A and B are shown apart, each in its own frame.
Chain A
């Protein structure tokens, strides 16, 4: 898997992943660990299950993830509920 050269789409995915981990930093230690676990599982699962040529679906997941990240960035968001949406929807 492209260890040296990343495609534009891969970069978008990694950037979204980074965004989630950054957002998780602003939560309490416990929430943070839970968010990181769920987000990491979700991304790794999709990286194995989704065909890397299925651009439309990946774009859909990127849009969905971006929306969920925006919600997570809200300081009032206590993570769990919004994160449960991540697992159930995708």
Chain B
């Protein structure tokens, strides 16, 4: 039994490594990548969210923000220049993203998120975003 377990563990490590390696070239197309990841067990947390899905959710979070005029929210809107938010409001918006996507954004990253497209970029490239 112990030997079988050891063997299985060993095999899985191998499979992970080779599949990921094969897939690096195919990263551009988001779909095959996520489909491949689904073959792994839940332990392998690494699925990236679809960019257009992230954009929609980010936009709806910003639209629900009390100090924002929803009609001004566009996929490229800058929090300060286009939406008139100050740096404190921006902190609140980024914290709201944390809750929407269920992961914590460290301070130095959060300070860089100044617009909707930057937020989408960051969240869709973050493996822990849900």
Which residues of chain A have a CB within 8 Å of any CB of chain B?
1-4, 6, 10-11, 14-15, 17-18, 21-22, 40, 43-44, 47
Contact = CB atoms under 8 A, between A and B. Distances in A.
Contacts of A17: 88, 91
B26 interface: no
B10 to A, nearest CB: 41
A15 B105 CA distance: 12
B114 interface: yes
Interface string B68-88: 000000000011110000111
Given A1-B80, A14-B111, A47-B88, 15 more contacts: A2-B87, A3-B78, A3-B79, A4-B114, A6-B87, A6-B111, A11-B111, A15-B107, A17-B88, A18-B91, A21-B95, A22-B95, A43-B88, A44-B86, A44-B88
